[in-house]
Structure 1
Amino acid sequence: MNTTAACRLTGRSRATHYRRRNPPAPRERAPRPTPPSALSPAERAEVLAVLNQPQYADLPPAQVWARELDEGRYWCSERTMYRILAAAGQSGERRRLAAHPAKKVPQLVASAPCQVLTWDISKLKGPDKGVWYHLYVIIDIYSRYICGWTVERAESAERAEELIRETIERNGIVPETVHADRGTSMTSKKVSQLLIDLGVARSHSRPKVSNDNPFSEANFKTIKYCGEYPESFNSLTEVRDWCESFIACYNHEKTAQRHRHAHAVRRPLRPRRTAPRDARRRPGRRLRQAPRTLRPQDPRTPETARGHLDKQADRSASPRRRDHSTGIERTT
């Protein structure tokens, strides 16, 4: 088949075919000639000096061009000013802006138990609408151990100060830092004075930041998403008993499980056994329960079967009478 027939069948132009087979040699582009109205290097330097004057240092070229034109001085076009600034590397923001350094997120690092404690207060639903119980929880962020807790009817700075004091006295170790959010009880004078007297550094969440107290928030979610967590509590005694049992389980059982999983030796996984692809080698399916035994049917001879069909035909052909008192149809 010649080229003409092939191009006709494929719908391709012969000129395109031959041009693609024998492309022309690339030609070098001649340098663009400098227009006669182009500025000389000295004039470009003079325009750049005008743009960098103190009164024009923070203005865009459009405003500089307009102000110079109002004063009767025409240097160049507005677009040429932009080209001169771009060639000098000054085409960015010309205004004086404050350079804010990158802020580092503060972190509290604990390398041993009782170095950093965090505490918070959460509400637990009571028996009626608007009735809440307040759960105070103090956690050691190194071991996630709940050092102290209490449940009260209302949030109080006095009770928070007593709980922190009792927790430190019971542990026998004064922590280095106590972290909390910016609630009224956390920033109260009583709690602040207690930490100052004990020589403990105070740490609070940053303003308008909701995730600076993650350990306490995660602990409250663990409590409220527990499967045994009730919808509401009927009394203060009930909520205290439930929290006592949960915290005992959390401190002594869940913590031990976490440590066992953290220090367990990871064993290599065994390769999974795959079934053969051949359908003939697959094992038979297993029944979930034993098969039921079917009731044996009476064997019928052709004569017996024919008589049975005749009885059914006679029964269907016989007239039916409806008893209007009961509504039942009877065969006559």
Structure 2
Amino acid sequence: MRRRFTQEFKVQAVEKALSQCDDVRLEDIALDLGIGYSTLQRWIALAKNHELETDYTGSQMTSEKRPQDWDLEERLNAIIECGRLDDTAVNEYCRSKGLYPHHIEQWKKNFAKGPSTKPVKSDSKQLKQEIKQLQKELNRKDKALAETAALLVPQKKSRCALGFQRGRLTSSTERHELIKLITDAQKSGARQEKACELLGLTARTIQRWIEADDMTDKRTSTIKRPPNRLTELEQQRIIKTVNSIEYGHLPPSKIVPKLLDKGVWIASESSFYRVMKSHKLLTHREKVKPNKKIKKPKALRATRVNEIYTWDITYLPTAVKGQFLYLYLVMDIYSRKIVGWQVHDTQLSTLAADLMVDICRREQVKPEQVTLHSDNGSPMKGATLLATLQELGIVPSFSRPSVSNDNPYSESLFKTLKYRPEYPEKAFESMGSARKWVSGFVDWYNDEHLHSGIKFVTPNQRHLGLDKAILAKRHQVNEMAKLQNPSRWSGKSRDWTMINEVNLNPEKKEAMRAA
């Protein structure tokens, strides 16, 4: 019997496939989901064509339709209407109708071509993809085999593992020997982390030994036992207590108070946890999922325009209580220029995908040029947007869940927007009024606002590369004034040096030194 899948399942499957790392194969993802590889490929193709979005009507405050909802007659009328307009008027028409200029161009091409059928993937292309996947798998296995062979040498030559014992005394000779074993293993194809793990060390310890000028351990002894350490008998008493019928279902945070209520004191709560951890008695057993450590997003650095974009969606109030308009805003963090925006009455990855296509065409973005950073909202991780980004050659980057500091440039921009004196005190009456106000704000922000983060030049000046000459002139005027009246300066004049790089989620200094 043929299986049927819901639209929500298809969207989630595509999102999972496009959110995985490069080393995870689509075949493995399809196997985990219990679907065929060709089926998953077909769903991804539908997402790229904006045909996989779940049905959602959004807010009922307006009858505005999405571009894909326009029928053929309406599209033809729009093409005829735009044919009599210049570029500026076309942009104004598209904004008023919730379209982009590229929609009009695409509709023209579709009418010129006439009805067409979707191309069928050729057997040769399918074969090439299979060969590429097999070659990738073969390379992976070759690397794993080479690493296993490389790790056999230190495993045989090392006398014993050091066992991750913190503070263990290691002689200078032994350190030199361990460093040589790990270095040789790395040259043979093993990873430093795996070689260190085999010898019972951490990679940071090896790095510290290599950086040290003198490897001699200055300590005379490492036998340090705290005087108040629990005896073996006391530890066994703790284990017996936590495993008893009365307390076997309780955590130490509740066992200790109950014992105190009975006038019994065995050890502190932290001692209970420490002893239980050493005996592997702290395995997660609640219904709720265990806490998962989420890694900080990868540090990004922009050294030119159109290299790193950040974007987010913010709420705009309406006259109807509980209903909002949504402002999509995309910024280039190097120049702080707002490169694209749009106001809609709903949050959909389809609308975000249209916005990114429009930005890439206007800014002439090439594949693999831009990294797009955002938070973890559903429009940001939607199947249609991820498929569009993949097609455009844009690398997605995401913040940690509920960590607004990971997307600081967009959050700061929204504060600037909502704290402008011109920001309406009352709610927006319609989508048209909201778009008109945002359009005025974007013009002011890009062309007039002297941004403090880029040495008080406008975002457009920096985006066009004019900031270097402007800042050089400011520095020259400062120096001339200082020469004419040096008593006014007690120190150096103001620094007007151009900012050459902008960091997003930079690593800590210690981590950067270790890297």
Instruction: Give the TM-score of the pair, scaled to structure 2.
Output: 0.33
3-state SS in 1 of match to 2:300:
coil
Cα contact 2:335–2:454 (8 A) shared by 1: no
Aligned-partner Cα distance in 1 for 2:376–2:296:
20
Aligned-partner Cα distance in 1 for 2:299–2:237:
53
3-state SS in 1 of match to 2:352:
helix
Aligned-partner Cα distance in 2 for 1:209–1:126:
27
| 1:238 alignment partner, one of 433, 437, 441 | 433
| 2:488 alignment partner, one of 253, 257, 270 | 270
Shift of 1:209: 1.8
Aligned to 2:268: none
Alignment of 1:273-312 (within 5 A): none
1:215 partnered with 2:418 = no
Alignment-mate amino acid for residue 252 of structure 1: D
| Cα distance, 1:200–1:105 mapped onto 2, change above 3 Å | closer
| Cα distance, 1:112–1:66 mapped onto 2, change above 3 Å | closer
Shift of 1:128: 2.4
3-state SS in 2 of match to 1:217:
helix
| 1:226 alignment partner, one of 420, 426, 443 | 420
Alignment-mate amino acid for residue 387 of structure 2: Q
Cα contact 1:145–1:255 (8 A) shared by 2: no
| Cα distance, 1:121–1:60 mapped onto 2, change above 3 Å | farther
Cα contact 1:117–1:179 (8 A) shared by 2: yes
1:111 partnered with 2:303 = yes
Shift of 1:142: 0.6
Aligned-partner Cα distance in 2 for 1:245–1:156:
25
Shift of 1:131: 2.5
Shift of 1:154: 1.4
3-state SS in 2 of match to 1:208:
coil
Cα contact 2:297–2:398 (8 A) shared by 1: no
1:145 partnered with 2:333 = no
Aligned-partner Cα distance in 2 for 1:104–1:125:
33
Alignment of 1:87-106 (within 5 A): 96=278, 106=298
Aligned to 2:395: 201
1:272-328 per-position Cα deviation (integer Å, ceiling 9, x unaligned) = 9xxxxxxxxxxxxxxxxxxxxxxxxxxxxxxxxxxxxxxxxxxxxxxxxxxxxxxxx
Aligned to 1:63: 234
RMSD over equivalenced CA pairs, Å: 3.4
3-state SS in 1 of match to 2:402:
coil
Aligned to 2:194: none
| Cα distance, 1:199–1:66 mapped onto 2, change above 3 Å | closer
Shift of 1:253: 1.2
Aligned-partner Cα distance in 2 for 1:247–1:233:
17
Alignment-mate amino acid for residue 170 of structure 1: R
Aligned-partner Cα distance in 2 for 1:64–1:182:
45
- In proportion to residue count, which structure has more helix? 2
Aligned length: 189
Shift of 1:158: 1.2
1:120 partnered with 2:309 = no
Aligned to 1:168: 360
Aligned-partner Cα distance in 1 for 2:324–2:416:
19
Alignment-mate amino acid for residue 439 of structure 2: E
Shift of 1:235: 1.2
**Greater Cα radius of gyration, structure 1 or 2:** 1
| Cα distance, 1:204–1:270 mapped onto 2, change above 3 Å | same
Aligned to 1:182: 376
3-state SS in 2 of match to 1:182:
coil
| Cα distance, 1:193–1:154 mapped onto 2, change above 3 Å | same
Shift of 1:179: 0.6
| 1:159 alignment partner, one of 322, 331, 351 | 351
Instruction: Give the TM-score of the pair, scaled to structure 1.
Output: 0.50
Q: Structure 2: any 5+ residue segments left out of the alignment?
A: 1-222, 239-273, 283-292, 458-470, 491-515
Alignment-mate amino acid for residue 221 of structure 1: K
1:90-146 per-position Cα deviation (integer Å, ceiling 9, x unaligned) = xxx776499xx9x76632111110101111110111122123111000100111100
Identical pairs, percent: 34
Shift of 1:208: 3.3
Aligned to 1:5: none
Shift of 1:157: 1.6
Alignment-mate amino acid for residue 161 of structure 1: A
3-state SS in 2 of match to 1:119:
strand
Q: Structure 1: any 5+ residue segments left out of the alignment?
A: 1-47, 52-57, 68-92, 273-332
Alignment-mate amino acid for residue 389 of structure 2: L
Alignment-mate amino acid for residue 202 of structure 1: P
- In proportion to residue count, which structure has more strand? 1
| 2:325 alignment partner, one of 133, 137, 148 | 133
Aligned to 2:456: 261
| Cα distance, 1:253–1:64 mapped onto 2, change above 3 Å | closer
1:167-203 per-position Cα deviation (integer Å, ceiling 9, x unaligned) = 1111101343111111110000000111112222110
Cα contact 2:331–2:338 (8 A) shared by 1: yes
| Cα distance, 1:177–1:253 mapped onto 2, change above 3 Å | same
Aligned-partner Cα distance in 1 for 2:439–2:411:
19
3-state SS in 2 of match to 1:122:
strand
